[in-house]
Amino acid sequence: MVVTDVYNHRFHKIFQMDEGLNHIMPRDDIFVYETCSTSSDSSDCVTLPVNFRERKSRTSSTSSGAVLYGQPLLISVPRHKLTFESLYEAVCERISRYIKQPLPDESGGLPLEPGACNGSRGSCEGDDEEEMEHQEEGKEHLSETEGSGEDELGSEHSETTQKIKGQPCPKRLFTFSLVNSYGTADINSLAADGKLLKLNSRSTLAIDWDSETRSLYYDEQESEAYEKHVSMLQPQKKKKMAVALRDCIELFTTMETLGEHDPWYCPNCKKHQQATKKFDLWSLPKILVVHLKRFSYNRYWRDKLDTVVEFPVRGLNMSEFVCDLSARPYVYDLIAVSNHYGAMGVGHYTAYAKNKLNGKWYYFDDSNVSLASEEQIVTKAAYVLFYQRRDDEFCKTPSLISFPGSSDGGMRPSSSQQGVGDDEACSMDTN
């Protein structure tokens, strides 16, 4: 089984067996193909990507352009049988489900009969017994003709057979071209000379249809049809597109085994091992900063994660994650959120912050500041969370001093209570 990503009627990526699922994005169109494997008799198969193309005549010139359509194929052919005819038969067998028979008036009275043509020689098969008897009678009649040479006999026999059958062999549905991986540029055409083709798994082929043949024989609707698995016929529960902050922290403190490509060198056994790593929390500060994972990285791309993380505005209990069982309760309240909009390379930051004096939330967007409600705070843009620990001393309502003419009623904290706990803060990065 080969897993592929199909985009714009061609293979965007063919996945290797050892690739992780994180390389597959939710918006990708994934196609899985069954191909031949090396059998016990060591017969070597060649698996070739095959694109569908339609040759369209350009009105501006006599040349023609090729346009991709449909879904590509992966065709496996034994290497010792890799001829034009074997390849043609393999493709015809694969696409037989969506090859239709045109109406007689559409095809000029020549409906397609699978197997009617045998290779490039144009000899017809599938004759009934009556036609075979007529053919033998024709042979006897021709053998009695005087003055006819061998060449003349062969020519007359061919014409007689063609005449008895009453119709010529239908032409092939398509031709083959060796193309680039995008299917947009021709490299060479394949010759139907019976010789082995010099192709390998890195070769890409296109089967080219002319517009008339495609219209007559290619069933567009059937080519897009599929069967739903029984599991898909059952009512599907709507997936919850959100995660809880508690689940993120629990995962952050879970033991993780390093991958085989990321080993750890053991100083005792003097070799690399698949070690385990784990983060433990011994104590937590008065100001807890939680950095949410908003960007995904791998060898091929970087992506912005827009998953909604549901975090509490009040009463975040971190006590169960602290190893020191004798420590005080660690209960936190949210005081600020930094938001990020945009992508990896470009974006915009805003913030929500709680006024310590009046207990109201405000939204900060560059130079604009506006009142906000708690219901607005939890969004998919939340990036960095700031929590304040509930302490008897730290969370007391500060003494207020009146300043005449101030916009918030003239209330300011006393100087003795400003900056309490500012030197005790740390960050928790969930990346």
Average pLDDT across the chain, whole number: 75
Task: Say whether pLDDT at 11 is over 80.
Answer: yes
Task: Say whether pLDDT at 166 is over 50.
Answer: no
Residue 52: beta bridge partners?
A: 69, 207
**pLDDT tens-digit map of 249-290:** 888 888 888 887 788 888 999 888 888 888 888 889 999 999
Query: Taking residues 137-157, what's their average pLDDT?
Result: 42
Confirm whether pTM is higher than 0.75: no
CA 288 to chain centre: 38
* Euclidean distance between CA atoms 55 and 189, whole angstroms: 14
**pLDDT tens-digit map of 337-381:** 999 998 777 789 999 999 999 999 999 999 999 999 999 999 999
Task: Say whether pLDDT at 108 is over 60.
Answer: no
* Euclidean distance between CA atoms 155 and 374, whole angstroms: 93
pLDDT of amino acid 136? 45
Residue with the two structure tokens 């928790």: 428
pLDDT tier at 324 (50, 70, 90 boundaries)? confident
Query: Taking residues 106-132, what's their average pLDDT?
Result: 43
* Euclidean distance between CA atoms 285 and 158, whole angstroms: 96
Dig out the tokens for 357 from the structure.
Answer: 């004096």
**pLDDT tens-digit map of 182-191:** 888 889 888 8
Give the dihedral of Cα atoms 34, 39, 42, 46; nearest 10 deg. -10
Select the more confidently predicted residue: 413 or 390: 390
The 3-state secondary structure of the chain, one letter per residue = CEEEEEECCEEEEECCCCCCHHHCCCCCCEEEECCCCCCCCCCCEEEEEEEEEEEEECCCCCCEEEEEEEEEEEEEEEHHHCCHHHHHHHHHHHHHHHECCCCCCCCCCCCCCCCCEECCCCEECCCCHHHHHHHHHHHHHHHCCCCCCHHHHHHHHHHHHHHHHCCCCCCCCCEEEEECCCCCCEEEECCCCCCCCCCCCCCEEEEEEEHHHHHHHECHHHHHCCCCCHHHHCCCCCCCCEEEHHHHHHHHCCCEECCCCCCEEECCCCEEECCEECCCECCCCCEEEEECCCEEECCCCEEECCCEEECCCCCEECHHHECCCCCCCCEEEEEEEEEEEECCCCEEEEEEEECCCCCCEEEEECCEEEEECHHHCCCCCEEEEEEEECCCCCCCCCCEEECCCCCCCCEEECHHHCCCCCCCEEEEECC
Percent of the chain predicted with pLDDT > 70 = 69
Query: Taking residues 407-425, what's their average pLDDT?
Result: 43
Task: Say whether pLDDT at 152 is over 60.
Answer: no
pLDDT of amino acid 358? 93
Select the more confidently predicted residue: 313 or 212: 313
Count of other CB atoms within 10 angstroms of residue 366 = 8
Task: Say whether pLDDT at 40 is over 80.
Answer: no
Q: Please classify residue 312 by burial: count the beta carbons closer than 10 Å to its beta carbon, then call 0-12 exposed, 13-18 middle and 19+ buried.
A: middle
Residue with the two structure tokens 């947009």: 184
Q: Please classify residue 281 by burial: count the beta carbons closer than 10 Å to its beta carbon, then call 0-12 exposed, 13-18 middle and 19+ buried.
A: middle
pLDDT tier at 23 (50, 70, 90 boundaries)? confident
**pLDDT tens-digit map of 228-243:** 888 777 776 665 578 8
pLDDT tier at 37 (50, 70, 90 boundaries)? low
pLDDT of amino acid 401? 38
Task: Say whether pLDDT at 192 is over 90.
Answer: no
Query: Taking residues 140-149, what's their average pLDDT?
Result: 41
pLDDT of amino acid 104? 63
pLDDT tier at 65 (50, 70, 90 boundaries)? confident
